[in-house]
Amino acid sequence: MNGTGKLIKLLVRQNALKITIWIISIVATTVSVAFAYGDVYKTKEELYGFALTMDNPAMKAMLGPGYDVEKYNLGAALATEMLLFTAIAIIIMNILFVSSSTRKDEEEGRLEMIRALPTGRLSYLMASGIKILMLNLLLSILTGIGLGLVGLEGVTWESSFLYGAILGATGLCFAGLTSFFAQLSDTSRGTSSLSFGALIVFYIFRAIGDVSLEGLALISPLGWTVRTGVFVDNEWWPVLALIVTGVIFAGLALYLNIKRDINVGILPTRSGRERALWYLKTSLGLTWKLERNSIIVWTLGIFLMSAAFGAILGDLETYFSDMEYLQAFLPQGDETDMTQRFITMLIQIMSIFTAIPAVLTILRLKKDEKLGLMENFYSRALSRNKVMSSHTIIAFLSTIIMQGSIGLGLYLTSIGVMEQNLVLGNTMVEVFIYLPAIWVIIGLSLLFVGTWSKGSSLVWLYIVFTFIVLYLGNLLDFPQWLNDLSTFNHIPEISQDLINWTPVYALSALALFLGFVGFTGYNKRDIQ
Amino acid sequence: MNFVEIKGLTKKFGKFTALNNIDLSMNPGEIYGFIGPNGAGKSTTIRVLLGMLKPTSGQVTIMNKDAWKDAVEIHKRVSYVPGEANLWPNLTGGEVIDLFLSIRGNSSQKKRDELIELFDLDPSKKCRAYSKGNRQKIALISAFASESDLYILDEPTSGLDPLMERIFQECVLNVKKQGKSVLLSSHILSEVEKLCDRVAIIREGQIIEKGTLDEMRHLTRTKVTVSTRKTLDGIENIKGIHNIAQSSNHLEFQADTEEIGKIISYLSTFEILKLECSPPTLEDLFMRHYEGNHSSKGDK
């Protein structure tokens, strides 16, 4: 354990900017949403109206079991809408930080240098563990203080800190899990894929569990996250359970880390082919081979999530038709409308997920350039247009495959459970109409890679922005121009009889234009 | 027009001038050595030649084609070996070689297999598992298995063991025999000395010396070791003699090459017992420029 203290300082200094951005954006979002709630629900009736719209299977599947309508307060509304998604954001942060400071540093040879110094065998892993512990602790405390200061009705200091603690504990649980996966896989990519896979599986377990089978939700850490009844019942056991699970996995990681050699994983690696298969001999084939696993995993994950939501559409329909008194609280509602509105929101959220592997594919151009891989192409008879097109084609195809799997997932599991079955054709149109919005994001990525590759991480910021606009835009009362900056905001709603196709064409044209500028810039600039 | 022609090449990165007005030309069929200390601009020059960096000013042509605009066309006849082969960690060596050969076109499977045998590479391993030397072999095999007119080699033997280095040298001499040209940037001066017809030395982004080894030697000093029957004296006063070192039974000094005749005739008056004249090695040349570099920095 020698030198752990110094290594912690090193790790913190290395990631200082990222840590600051993550913490500020998470705490600021939580606090500003809490602040907004005070204005939105001024009367008890309005609050109950919100509670009733949340108390249905679809919302339970998406956000957790929620609260009894009678016990509702503003804090409960906040937790229902924000807790799980914030926790997921924190989980993503933990997965990224842990896989980078464990397996990635090992893979890229930095750990070797550290180990050659007089440091203990476990020092680096311990240091990265302590760093992540401090990070989550800081996040918990700041969130707690922030919420306490906003002082919503029904929000005590204890419950504010509980809310922060759940977030931090969920983060720690997945940090432990990721450090465990870092011992199994021998690449950082493998580590984060396993971790994100676990996140998706746990989310689906919790979704099904919260709707119909509570036992299933209880074996998922995310199921614990949503079971504190924070702001109403204030149970602390889930926080404890999450931390204990995290510590157990971190312990396993330390144990496996001692047992294994440097640069190898516990999972076996197979010996490969001596010759390349036919398709691998082109830059398009290579891009496909490099992105294949990631696209398959994302497609499967998004398909399973859509299927899980498709399966509860029946419950949702029944629920809305049973609850006649609910209609009183809703502005313009008959029951198909409610179900339809839920489907639309679901597709919008999933479409943002679709953009992620596509952007990863485009940004590989930049990442591989930094790793010195691009000179393998450009010192041979390959043009920049060809290499960039390979990535663009794979990204483009992946958006179609993934949107298709959203539609298919929703449709297949909804057959039979709904009174008024979905029509496959309509569902597909409804899903594919979001493609141009995603293509603009691909275009934006190309623009960055071609003209300002240093700034290309800003694309991720944009994706987060579209999500915030979609999910919180109305609540936070953004001005119209800000909402309009999100491409998804321009896609027409298909439930109306007359679809206005103009924005769809306009977005496609914009995507083409951005892509064109990106290609032109890429041809003109130096390759590192 | 020469085979490779660099005229007045300047490359700036922001305010930093990496290459300053470089001129260099290569004839077909020659092996051209390119040497200089770390960070002098060797790799930058090569990256401009390969069309990866755009010249700030100046003209760079290979086979009468513009290195930037016609990069793809040129690269159909060029093979390149980088000093550090960066490869995709999850592809095998064999897969990478096949990918490279197929992008490159006109390369032979038979040659590929022979070279894999010759360099003793296991092509079934994933690239992340290869050592630096083995990754370098992959780059060399891909380069020499394809039919090219120009081979651009940027410190190609870094990480190779002496046995593999010899195989590499055979490969280079082999392509020379077929009339191909080679641009060899290297730190291993004995290798450059053994292989190259002409040499250019680059320092701080400027070419400070170029020509055949013989021409360059002419400008420098010869090391002389001598022992005589009679006691040698007065030698300090002879023109063109520097760095005299006396040991028990012989004398060592550096002599200006153009004065060597006069010096020898002076020495012969003392009845020479033994006389050794060794031409400066490339290392001496290089060190001289390198040290010059240090002192000029000290002056500033």
- My answer on whether B82 and B155 are in the same domain is yes
Partner residue facing A375 (CB), from B52, B90, B105:
B52
Structure tokens at A493: 């709603």
Partner residue facing B76 (CB), from A271, A381, A525:
A381
- My answer on whether B91 and B226 are in the same domain is no
The Cα B1–Cα A336 span in angstroms is 78
- My answer on whether B8 and B150 are in the same domain is yes
Partner residue facing B124 (CB), from A272, A290, A526:
A272
pLDDT the model gives residue B48:
94
Partner residue facing B52 (CB), from A269, A275, A378:
A378
The Cα A169–Cα A238 span in angstroms is 9
Final residue before a domain boundary, out of B215, B231, B256:
B215
Structure tokens at A98: 């842990």
Minimum CA–CA partner of B43 in chain A: A528
Sign, CA dihedral A461-A467-A468-A474, equals: positive
B293 three-class SS: helix
Final residue before a domain boundary, out of B189, B215, B241:
B215
- My answer on whether B89 and B196 are in the same domain is yes
- My answer on whether B128 and B226 are in the same domain is no
Q: Are A431 and A407 in contact (CB under 8 A)?
A: yes
Q: Are A176 and A189 in contact (CB under 8 A)?
A: no
Residue B289 lies in a domain: no
* Interface mutation vs chain A, best among B69, B84, B90, most A CBs within 10 Å: B90
Assembly ipTM: 0.78
CB contact under 8 A, A527 and B103: no
B106 and A CB contact within 8 Å: no
Residue B285 lies in a domain: no
| Residues near A285 by beta carbon (within 8 Å), at least 6 away in sequence | A278, A279
- My answer on whether B142 and B234 are in the same domain is no
pTM, rounded to two decimals: 0.79
Q: Domain of B275: which CATH number?
A: 3.30.70.250
- My answer on whether B140 and B234 are in the same domain is no
A523 and B CB contact within 8 Å: no
**DSSP symbol at A326:** G
- My answer on whether B93 and B126 are in the same domain is yes
- My answer on whether B116 and B262 are in the same domain is no
| Residues near B152 by beta carbon (within 8 Å), at least 6 away in sequence | A379, B46, B49, B50, B78, B79, B80, B81, B182, B183
| A29-87 tens-digit pLDDT | 999 888 888 777 778 887 887 888 778 787 888 889 988 888 888 899 899 889 999 99
Q: Are B232 and B270 in contact (CB under 8 A)?
A: yes
- My answer on whether B176 and B190 are in the same domain is yes
- My answer on whether B97 and B119 are in the same domain is yes
Minimum CA–CA partner of B68 in chain A: A524
* Interface mutation vs chain B, best among A108, A274, A525, most B CBs within 10 Å: A274
- My answer on whether B85 and B231 are in the same domain is no
Structural domain boundaries enclosing B108: 4-215
The Cα A202–Cα A208 span in angstroms is 10
CB contact under 8 A, B105 and A381: yes
pLDDT in tens, chain A (528 residues): 678 888 999 899 988 998 999 999 999 999 988 888 877 777 888 788 788 877 878 788 888 998 888 888 889 989 988 999 999 999 999 999 999 988 888 887 888 888 888 888 888 899 999 999 999 999 999 999 999 999 888 889 999 999 999 999 999 999 999 999 999 988 887 888 889 889 989 998 998 899 888 888 999 999 999 999 999 989 999 999 999 999 999 999 999 998 888 777 777 766 778 888 888 888 899 999 888 888 888 898 899 888 888 877 877 777 776 665 555 555 454 545 677 878 888 899 999 999 999 999 999 999 999 988 999 899 888 999 999 999 999 999 999 999 999 999 988 888 767 777 788 888 899 999 999 999 999 999 999 999 999 999 899 999 999 999 988 877 778 888 998 999 998 888 776 667 788 899 999 999 999 999 999 999 999 988
Final residue before a domain boundary, out of B215, B241, B259:
B215
The Cα B213–Cα B216 span in angstroms is 5
CB contact under 8 A, B89 and A276: no
CB contact under 8 A, A107 and B128: yes
| A249-298 tens-digit pLDDT | 999 999 999 888 877 777 776 677 888 888 888 889 999 988 888 888 88
* Interface mutation vs chain B, best among A380, A386, A454, most B CBs within 10 Å: A380
In the sheet with B65-66, reading across from the earlier edge strand, the strands are: B16-26, B4-13, B57-62, B65-66
**What ranges in A212-279 are assigned the alpha helix state H?**
214-218, 221-225, 237-259
Structure tokens at A497: 């009889």
E-strand ranges in chain B read: 4-13, 16-26, 31-35, 57-62, 65-66, 78-81, 150-154, 181-185, 198-203, 206-212, 221-228, 241-246, 251-256, 272-278
CB contact under 8 A, A526 and B51: no
Q: Are A273 and B95 in contact (CB under 8 A)?
A: yes
Domain count, chain B: 2
The helix or strand, by DSSP H or E, that contains position A427, with its residue range, turns out to be helix A424-432
